[in-house]
Structure 1
Amino acid sequence: MDSEDGGKGEAQGCSEDPAGSPLEPGPKLPSVSSAHSGPKVNIKEPEKFSIRDRDNKVLVLDGEILRAVPDKRYILPETFFIIALHVRSAHQEKGSPIHLAVSKGELCLCCNKEKGQSQPSLQLKKKKLTHLTVQKEPALQHFIFYRCKVGSLSTLESAAHPGWFICTSCDAGEPVGVTDNVGKRKHTEFLFRKVCKAAVSPSEVSE
């Protein structure tokens, strides 16, 4: 998932928020302590959400690529496993630090700049969410995103690359990426919808 060029694009706003959205404004997430405070962490069960952008496109997993597609009856939104963190280096004014994972908690979202890249990109790393939470900083930084509430929506800013936000394109079917040019044909605000426990059992998170 490549990041978007911060210098290109037009003003964001392909459509307004759908009226009467059944989505929840973003319930509180269970939290865990960062591993740097000790070798053991009391890990709670992750919260599970589906995520959609301001165009009402839902995020789905296509192979190992996240895409934003129109919400249709036959589309099954990807379930995101989310754990809130307590980290000493967190900037509270940016929001709540979290880890996000898909594919039953086995692919973790990561914002990283590979060797030779001029800017970071959004990646899915084959790391189990339950294992990720016991690692120490700074190894965790690329996997931490600040969830900041904007009304009933939330932005997701990279902790490792301040000013870069998870985003979707105004064009359907495009990969989810990151951008540092907020408001330029990219949606950076998302609605989180709680996934009921009956739909995804706790045993689906790999140990």
Structure 2
Amino acid sequence: MECTGEQFCSIIMDNMVEECVMVSILEPMGVVTKKVKGTFEQIGSPQQYSLCDHHQKSLVYCHRTMELKAVTIQGGNNRRARFNLSRYSNASTTTTNQALPVVLGIDQWNLSCSKQTDSATPVLQLERCKDQLTTIGAQEKTVRFLFYKNTTGFSLTTFESAMYPGWFISTSLEPSQPIQMCQKQDARKLINFMVKH
């Protein structure tokens, strides 16, 4: 049976199956499966990095207000905060294979995550630490400086609080806002960062 081009096209259109492609987007999961335990030992020397969220806002340090803000930078890199990232190991902690315990510092300040007595939400702040943080005990107050660095894909990295599992360092969707802690379900926050040398 022969058919004309128009009939052939009609047959194809009648039998065309619409294909729907679903792309799975991995939600960042908390990497800490339970409260930390044991002792964390620093590995090697701190390395310097800058961070920007996946909307290309760089983290900058405001000396006057003692805050870290996410800002879109035009031109050079000189305003970007340079973080000293110290790596740690702990055989007792159960995490996914990609999670790495780290401490983030700027000059003589370290990022910490703690709760105020009247708040249920952990607060991210810059804090001077008198300890050298070569070892951090899970039951010590210094565990507030520890975050789990988890990288997915080629370059998306999250920083989850070791003290408060499920809470992540985040930026706002709005420009020039301070960085904060949030839970991964908060659609108003960005928790994925690019770590750059």
Specify if TM > 0.5: yes
After superposition, the Cα gap between the structure-2 partners of 1:35 and 1:107, relative to the gap in structure 1 and judged at 3 Å, is farther
Q: Which structure: greater strand fraction?
A: 2
TM-score (norm 1): 0.68
Figure out how many residues of one structure are paired with residues of the other and give that number: 155
What is the deviation of 1:91?
A: 2.7
Q: Deviation at 1:182?
A: 3.1
- Where do 5+ consecutive residues of structure 1 fail to align? 1-33, 195-207
> Match of 2:71?
69
Q: Which whole-Å CA distance do the structure 1 matches of 2:42 and 2:194 have between them? A: 28
Aligned residue for 2:158? 155
2:173 paired residue number:
170
Q: Percent identity?
A: 29
What is the identity, as a one-letter code, of the residue corresponding to 2:176? G
Partner of 1:96: 100
Q: After TM superposition, list the pairs within 5 Å mapping 1:1-207 onto structure 2.
A: 36=39, 44-63=44-63, 64-73=66-75, 76-93=79-96, 95-102=99-106, 104=107, 106-127=108-129, 131-139=132-140, 140-151=142-153, 152-182=155-185, 184-194=187-197
Q: Which amino acid aligns with 2:60?
A: V
Distance 2:62 2:144 in 1: 22
Structure 2's unaligned 5+ residue stretches are: 1-36
Q: TM-score, structure 2 length as denominator?
A: 0.71
Cα offset for 1:101?
A: 0.6
Distance 1:171 1:141, change over 3 A: same
Q: Structure 1 residues 154 and 181 mapped into 2: Cα distance closer, same or farther (>3 Å)? A: closer
Match in the other structure for 2:7: none
**What is the letter of the counterpart of residue 123 of structure 1?**
Q
User: AA paired with 1:62?
Assistant: C
CA distance in 1, matches of 2:72, 2:94: 34
Distance verdict in 2 for CA 1:180–1:58, change over 3 Å: same
When Rg is computed on C-alpha atoms for both structures, the one with the higher figure is 2
Deviation per residue, 1:23-58 (Å, 9 max, x gap): xxxxxxxxxxx9948xxx676321110000011000
